[in-house]
């Protein structure tokens, strides 16, 4: 990877936030010869041994338990981890003195010499990113797949592999401070309310997403959901005639028709069949259409692409069917951290649903769930800090029950469900009030369901 950026030996760079992305960035900056400061909101006693090892080898000074202007003002440059709000008073104060504040995408922008496909949207980002990676990898290309989905951008900068293509999932948090980052292909899947506790309004959240297209039509090929009203409203005027669209309309460049996808091409079009595939859901078909358009320039053989679509498996915590116990289906949709994702999950679940929801509030308007809840949910089991807000928004529609833990929630939901029903964990909230992340929340749900299965088996043996 060719290196040419603003990081120079001897400069002082402060990394704010020492999570996965922050640690990778610390290692990169240190390797470039920068004097690295780290500011993390956690207490030092909470740091793991692996984190302490990075600090010991790469960091000159450490601040824990807060972000202070006094500490950060010692740096020539602030590099914010995605989870750190640029509006934090200490960061804003330092920025007013003229210190540049950027994110990991801004650091990476001048280093990316290979084609970059970047994917954003409220829901579906991870699936589409992984599917694009799988389609490209099937051709024998060397592909980096990362960003917001787990492998941080800093790891790409540390990696000496000469990748053919870079595929990045990017969040609104990352795009806020993306600097001169301009992908060759930018995929915008959808926009529904999310992270309003940070962005302040849906309009500002949408504007952050639109930074994906800041390079303009001459530098970025835009692939967009042509039927998403919030996305179309936020789309800058210069893109209305140039963006490539997917959806259910027959005139779309990628059109969904039942279980089949039609991709327009010079020869008229190519049809893909998703029957029997894990992607054969309402959202899965749209995600597949977006992915196929994103890789169109790479001229992947249709037969090979069809094989990838049929064999692709959606990752854990996204409408993951865990078990069927006594005719009750248990589904883990822990990644559904906003109302749009919950509505989609309820629609895909079909039939009668006992919904487990709640967690740490992100400023979403839970009243947006009223229509879907009224149609599909028989009982609502609530967990976490946002339980009162969810009850206030939905409690007049269905019976509400409260649970103190995931085990309690699964037990209550199973008792409320009847054969043929689905118990769905689809929280509409972040996980950080009770869990480390949405993965741990989903794992706890899966473990609780499995314990219930084991209890049923023991009871059957005893009888």
Q: Would you say the C-alpha torsion 224, 228, 234, 239 has a positive or negative sign?
A: positive
What parts of the chain have a pLDDT lower than 50?
Answer: 1-5
Q: Tell me how far apart the alpha carbons of residues 46 and 440 are, in angstroms, rounded to a whole number.
A: 18
DSSP 403-453: -SSHHHHHHHHHHH--TT-EEEE--SSBSTTTSSSHHHHHHHHHHHHHHHH
Using DSSP, state whether 456 is helix, strand or coil: helix
Classified as helix, coil or strand, 18 is coil
- Return phi, psi of residue 99, to 5°: -75, 130
Instruction: Consult the annotation and say whether 122 binds a ligand.
Output: yes
**392 vs 214: CA distance, rounded Å:** 40
- Out of 3.30.930.10, 3.40.1190.10, 3.30.450.40, 3.40.50.720, which CATH number does the structure's domain 106-311 have? 3.40.1190.10
CB 234 within 8 A of CB 192: no
Q: Return left, alpha or beta for 421; rule: phi > 0 is left, psi -120 to 50 is alpha, else beta.
A: beta
Bridge partners, 400 (sequence order): 380
Do residues 224 and 253 make contact, with C-beta atoms less than 8 angstroms apart? no
pLDDT digit string (tens) for 346-362? 999 989 999 999 999 99
Name the pTM for this structure. Answer: 0.90
Q: What angle do CA 307, 310, 311 make, to 5 degrees?
A: 85
- Rounded Cα distance between 272 and 256, Å, is 10
pLDDT at 40: 97
Strand partners, 329: 324, 422
In sequence order, the 6+-apart residues with CB closer than 8 A to the CB of 42 are 18, 64, 65
Q: How far apart (Å, rounded) are the C-alpha atoms in residues 258 and 67?
A: 51
* pLDDT tens string 58-94: 999 999 999 999 999 999 999 999 999 999 999 999 9
Which residues, in sequence order, are bridge partners of residue 16?
Answer: 39, 80
Is 127 known to sit in a ligand binding site? Answer: yes
Q: What pLDDT does residue 446 have? A: 98
Which residues on adjacent β-strands are paired with residue 111?
none
Return the pLDDT at 4.
42
Domain ranges of the chain: 12-98, 106-311, 320-462
Residue pair 189/31 in contact (Cβ under 8 Å)? The answer is no
CATH topology of domain 320-462: 3.90.190
Q: What is the pLDDT of residue 463?
A: 67
Rg (CA), the chain: 23
Residue 462's pLDDT is: 74
CA 269 to CA 397: how far, in whole Å? 46
User: Does the annotation place 124 within a ligand binding site?
Assistant: yes
Which positions ≥6 away from 33 have C-beta within 8 Å? 7, 8, 9, 10
Contact between 225 and 231 under an 8 Å Cβ cutoff? The reply is yes
* Residue 461, pLDDT score: 75
Q: Are 69 and 134 in contact (CB under 8 A)?
A: no
Residue 378 CB neighbours (<10 A): 17
pLDDT at 200: 94
Name the CATH superfamily for 12-98: NAD(P)-binding Rossmann-like Domain (3.40.50.720)
Distances (CA, A) of 385 to 231, 360, 377, 391, 432: 30, 5, 21, 11, 10
What b/e string do you get for 150-171 counting C-beta neighbours within 10 Å, with b at 16 or more?
A: ebbbbbbbeeeeebbbbbbbbb
DSSP 299: -
Can you tell me whether residue 78 is helix, strand or coil? strand
Task: For residue 129, say whether it is annotated as part of any ligand binding site.
Answer: no
Residues 6+ apart with CB under 8 A from 91: 16, 67, 72, 78, 80, 84, 85, 101
Q: 240-264: string of b/e by CB count within 10 Å (b at 16+)?
A: eeebbbbbeeeebbbbbeeeebbbb
The answer on whether 338 is annotated among ligand-binding residues is no
Sheet with strand 143-147: strands edge to edge: 143-147, 165-169, 116-120, 185-188, 221-225, 244-247, 254-257, 260-263, 270-273
């Amino acid at each position: 990877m060719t290196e040419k950026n603003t990081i120079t030996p001897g400069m002082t760079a402060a990394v704010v936030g020492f999570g996965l992305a922050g640690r990778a960035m610390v290692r990169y900056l240190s390797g470039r010869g920068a004097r690295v400061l780290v500011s993390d909101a956690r207490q030092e006693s909470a740091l793991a041994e692996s984190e302490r090892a990075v600090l010991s080898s790469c960091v000159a000074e450490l601040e824990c338990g807060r972000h202070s202007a006094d500490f950060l003002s010692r740096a020539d440059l602030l590099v914010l981890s995605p989870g750190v709000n640029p509006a934090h008073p200490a960061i804003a104060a330092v920025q007013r003195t003229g210190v540049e504040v950027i994110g990991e995408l801004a650091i990476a922008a001048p280093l990316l010499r290979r084609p970059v496909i970047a994917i954003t949207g409220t829901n579906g980002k991870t699936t589409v990113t992984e599917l694009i990676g799988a389609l490209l990898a099937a051709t024998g290309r060397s592909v980096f797949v990362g960003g917001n989905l787990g492998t941080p951008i800093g790891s790409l900068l540390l990696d000496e592999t000469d990748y053919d293509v870079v595929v990045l999932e990017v969040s609104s948090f990352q795009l806020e401070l993306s600097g001169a980052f301009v992908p060759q292909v930018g995929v915008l899947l959808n926009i529904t309310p999310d992270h309003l506790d940070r962005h302040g309004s849906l309009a500002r959240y949408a504007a952050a997403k639109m930074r994906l297209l800041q390079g303009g039509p001459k530098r970025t090929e835009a692939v967009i959901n042509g039927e998403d009203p919030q996305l179309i409203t936020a789309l800058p005027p210069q893109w209305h005639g140039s963006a490539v669209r997917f959806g259910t309309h027959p005139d779309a460049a990628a059109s969904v028709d039942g279980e089949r996808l039609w991709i327009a091409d010079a020869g008229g079009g190519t049809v893909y069949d998703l029957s029997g595939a894990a992607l054969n859901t309402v959202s899965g078909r749209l995600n597949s259409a977006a992915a196929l358009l994103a890789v169109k320039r790479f001229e992947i053989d249709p037969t090979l692409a069809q094989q990838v679509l049929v064999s692709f498996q959606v990752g854990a915590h996204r409408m993951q069917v865990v078990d069927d116990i006594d005719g009750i289906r248990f589904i883990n949709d822990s990644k559904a951290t906003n109302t749009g994702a919950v509505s989609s999950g309820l629609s895909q679940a079909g039939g009668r649903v006992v919904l487990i929801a709640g967690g740490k509030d992100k400023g979403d308007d839970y009243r947006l769930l009223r229509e879907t809840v009224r149609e599909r949910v028989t009982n609502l089991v609530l967990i976490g800090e946002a339980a009162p807000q969810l009850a206030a928004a939905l409690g007049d529609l269905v019976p509400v029950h409260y649970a103190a833990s995931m085990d309690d929630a699964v037990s209550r939901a199973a008792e409320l469900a009847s054969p043929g029903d689905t118990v769905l964990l689809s929280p509409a909230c972040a996980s950080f009030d009770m869990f480390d992340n949405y993965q741990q929340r989903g794992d706890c749900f899966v473990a609780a369901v499995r314990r219930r299965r084991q209890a049923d088996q023991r009871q059957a043996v005893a009888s």
